[in-house]
Structure 1
Amino acid sequence: MNAPHDVPTAADLVAAVRDFLQTDVLPAVEGRVRYHTRVAINVLAMVEREIELGGEQAERHAANLAELGVADDAELAAAVREGRVADDDALVRVLEQAVRAKLEVANPGYLARE
């Protein structure tokens, strides 16, 4: 649901710009501009994935942190440093899921190598 916004959604707009850069601009440019166009395409793809996955990932991460008895990443880091969180399978699971979520947005190709 996009209320109060109509279509196109933010994700649709980002995808349209990415497609334009990839289809029309990239083949027409060279050198530095080509490199920066490729960077822009990758950034827009990351934004698309974050729009799509971010809400669910944030909810899951918050629930995982709550299971460890902390409110956020900073508190988790402090708790680990201070030994307030057990160095066990639960901590490893939360950290692995956090890294996986970051990779799902930043570069899912890294996950395909597993």
Structure 2
Amino acid sequence: MQDEPTPNELIKAVADFLRSEIAPAIKGHNSFKLRVGINALDLVTRQLSLAQAADAAEAARLKQLLKIDGSLFDLNRVLSEKIASGDVDLQTPGLADHLWQTTMDKLAVDQPNYASYKREIGQQS
């Protein structure tokens, strides 16, 4: 197994090449399809870079909030059940902060150019 370049670097290099060298020459519907492909590569790059740490932080917050252990999937299921039953609501200490941070972490991966997200993190262009 090679150490360099990383999968993240390879995917980013392909996306950058497509964006700078290929996209300017493509027109019409194929241009749209190419942009969709480039966006998918950018998303995968962000997932490789950010998602694992965000998931670990989310699981840690859920474990503290719910006072139980489990997988991220199971912890989110328990939280959903507790919200649905009324056992947990926005008055529950830590819940609003957890929901906010989880949303921000997911936006960082999925939609980092979303205007409200950029404004919230102070990077509005």
Q: Same fold (TM over 0.5)?
A: yes
Decide which of 83, 92, 97 is 1:93's aligned counterpart: 97
Q: Confirm whether residue 22 of structure 1 aligns to residue 19 of structure 2.
A: yes
Q: Deviations over 1:71-108 (max 9, x none)?
A: 42222111110122243251111111111011001111
What are the ranges of 5 or more consecutive residues in structure 1 without an aligned counterpart?
none
Q: Deviations over 1:26-74 (max 9, x none)?
A: 1111111101111111111111111111121111100111122154222
User: Structure 1 length normalisation: TM-score?
Assistant: 0.87
User: Structure 2 length normalisation: TM-score?
Assistant: 0.80
Decide which of 35, 42, 45 is 2:42's aligned counterpart: 45
The match for 1:74 is 77
Aligned-residue Cα RMSD (Å) equals 1.6
d(CA) in 2 for partners of 1:5 and 1:81? 48
Give % identity.
Answer: 33
The match for 2:110 is 106
What are the ranges of 5 or more consecutive residues in structure 2 without an aligned counterpart?
121-125
